[in-house]
Amino acid sequence: MKNIRVILISGVSGSGKTTAIKALEDIGFYCVDNLPILLFPKFLELCEQSGGKISKVAVVEDIRGSISYPEEDAQRGKDRLEEPRGILQHLKQEGFLIEILFLECSDPILMRRFSETRRQHPLAAGGTIWEGIRKERAWLQGIRDMANQVIDTSQFNVHELKDKIQQYAMEGSNHRQMRVTLLSFGYSFGIPYEADLVLDVRFLPNPYFVEELKRLKGEDSKVRDYILQWEETRDFLSRLQAFISFLIPLYEREGKTHLTIGVGCTGGRHRSVVIVNQLAETLKRSLPGQGARLSVRHRDAEKG
């Protein structure tokens, strides 16, 4: 393995890539913005020849390459990803520890950001911002699928995003440990962009339709007891724990540093919260031996 940590930042236009690269620069990363992918191997080679002076680098890379042809369809865009994919795979085989950090953002927030800054979307030439966003998502799906970590910047201001990026960099300094985040959410508020796996628990009995429970939250023992009393709930949790325990070492083997598992119910207040909390309790006993760290977040528990 090379003694250089490499974070490659990509993501949709308007998601905060410039803020991300500045945040990493502030904590000692050697940073380059918009380095052409064909120059990436040469850049890392020069860093390696620095005699240890450069030990961590970050690069904002527009993996779309020279995409400037709005008339090209999504399939041709996917085909153009094969060269960057091959370059990254070769560098990993050479021993470089390359992490891909992908920044996401919801479409309404992107529309607002472009409107407020009066910037034109790079793929909206001759069309609308919405068309540019849609086309870019299709182009970038390949690199998003390769990402070690996806961060949804929709609700972050500049300072919060900077903190989040720096937290990611510091948490990932030990490449042998993978951080697992269990995230509850409500489908009413949208699927979280950062989720690597999404589980739908709307098949479980809903406490919302029990008068004495509907106004309580999933953290309440009465709600928890109601949901856990059902055999299908206990069976689901047992199978889910085995499934996640099976997946984690395989993701670690592929070099993934962060895994976000989203668990959703209708409003994100009852069933998803209980399932996430129960899953966290059972996984805590098995994950330490696998080198993973576990955190829990309830995105929508306070809404509604």
Closest by alpha carbon to 12, among 123, 118, 105, 115?
A: 105
Q: Of 191, 166, 193, 212, which Cα lies nearest the Cα of 272?
A: 191
pLDDT band at 173 (very low <50, low <70, confident <90, very high): low
Instruction: Copy the structure tokens of residue 72.
Output: 């090209």
In terms of domains, do 171 and 226 share one? no
- Look at residue 1 in the predicted model and tell me its pLDDT: 66
Task: Calculate the CA dihedral of residues 170, 171, 174, 179 and round it to 10 degrees.
Answer: -170
pLDDT top residue among 186 and 114: 186
Q: Per-residue pLDDT averaged across 149-172, rounded?
A: 89
- The reported pLDDT for the residue numbered 142 is 82
Tell me the average pLDDT of the chain. 85
Task: Supply the pLDDT for residue 289.
Answer: 55
Cβ burial of 28 (10 Å; 0-12, 13-18, 19+) is exposed
Please tell me whether residue 179 adopts helix, strand or coil conformation: strand
Name the domain boundary from 145, 175, 205: 175
**What phi and psi values does residue 220 have, to the nearest 5 degrees?**
-75, 140
Residues 230 and 148 in one domain: no
- Strand, coil or helix: what is 169? helix
What does the pLDDT read at residue 288? 57
pLDDT of residue 303: 86
Higher pLDDT, 62 or 247: 247
Residue 144 and residue 243 in one domain: no
From 150, 175, 200, the end of a domain falls on 175
Helix (H, G, I), strand (E, B) or coil at 16: coil
- Asked, for residue 266, whether it belongs to a domain, the answer is yes
Instruction: Write down the pLDDT at residue 62.
Output: 65
- Asked if the structure places residue 50 within a domain, the reply is yes
The strand pairing partners of 147, in sequence order, are none
| Section 98-127 average pLDDT | 84
Please determine, for residue 11, whether its predicted confidence score (pLDDT) is greater than 80. yes
Is residue 82 very low, low, confident or very high in pLDDT (cuts 50, 70, 90)?
low
Q: What is the pLDDT of residue 293?
A: 79
Does 304 map to a domain?
A: no
Output the pTM of the full model: 0.67
The boundaries of the domain holding residue 129 are 5-175
pLDDT reported for residue 177 = 65
DSSP state of 120: P
- Inside any domain, residue 269: yes
Structure confidence at residue 74 (pLDDT)? 47
Please count the structural domains in the chain: 2
Average pLDDT, integer, range 220-229: 96
> Cα(30)–Cα(162) distance, rounded to whole angstroms?
16
In this structure, the answer to whether residues 10 and 40 fall within a common structural domain is yes
Are residues 43 and 164 both part of a single domain?
yes
48 with 160, same domain: the answer is: yes
d(CA 90, CA 291): 27
Name the domain boundary from 175, 202, 217: 175
Predicted pLDDT of residue 134: 87
CATH number of the domain to which 71 belongs: 3.40.50.300
Do 168 and 28 lie in one domain? The reply is yes
Task: Say what the pLDDT of residue 245 is.
Answer: 87
Residue 199 lies in a domain: yes
Could you tell me the strand order of the sheet in which 178-186 lies? 197-200, 258-265, 178-186, 292-298
With respect to residue 45, please indicate whether it lies within any of the assigned structural domains.
Answer: yes
In this prediction, residue 68 has a pLDDT band, given cuts at 50, 70 and 90, of very low
The reported pLDDT for the residue numbered 30 is 94
Please indicate, yes or no, whether residues 169 and 21 belong to a single structural domain of this protein. Answer: yes
pLDDT number for residue 165: 94
Judgement on whether residues 44 and 171 belong to the same structural domain of the protein: yes
Reduce the DSSP state of residue 32 to 3 states and report it: strand
**Same structural domain, 169 and 95:** yes
Q: Is residue 226 part of a domain?
A: yes
Which pLDDT band, with edges at 50, 70 and 90, does 139 fall under? confident
- Whether the pLDDT of residue 69 is over 60: the answer is no
**142/236 same-domain check:** no
Coil, strand or helix at 175: coil
**Average pLDDT of span 164-178:** 75
Query: Is residue 9 domain-shared with residue 151, that is, in the same domain?
Result: yes
Query: Tens digits of per-residue pLDDT, 181-212?
Result: 999 999 999 999 889 999 999 999 999 999 99
Tell me, what's the pLDDT at 271? 97
pLDDT at 291 over 70: no
Q: What would the mean pLDDT of 208-219 be, rounded to a whole number?
A: 93
Please report the pLDDT score of residue 176 as a whole number. 54
pLDDT at 81: 52
Instruction: Establish if 303 belongs to a structural domain.
Output: no
Using the 8-state DSSP alphabet, how is residue 38 labeled?
G
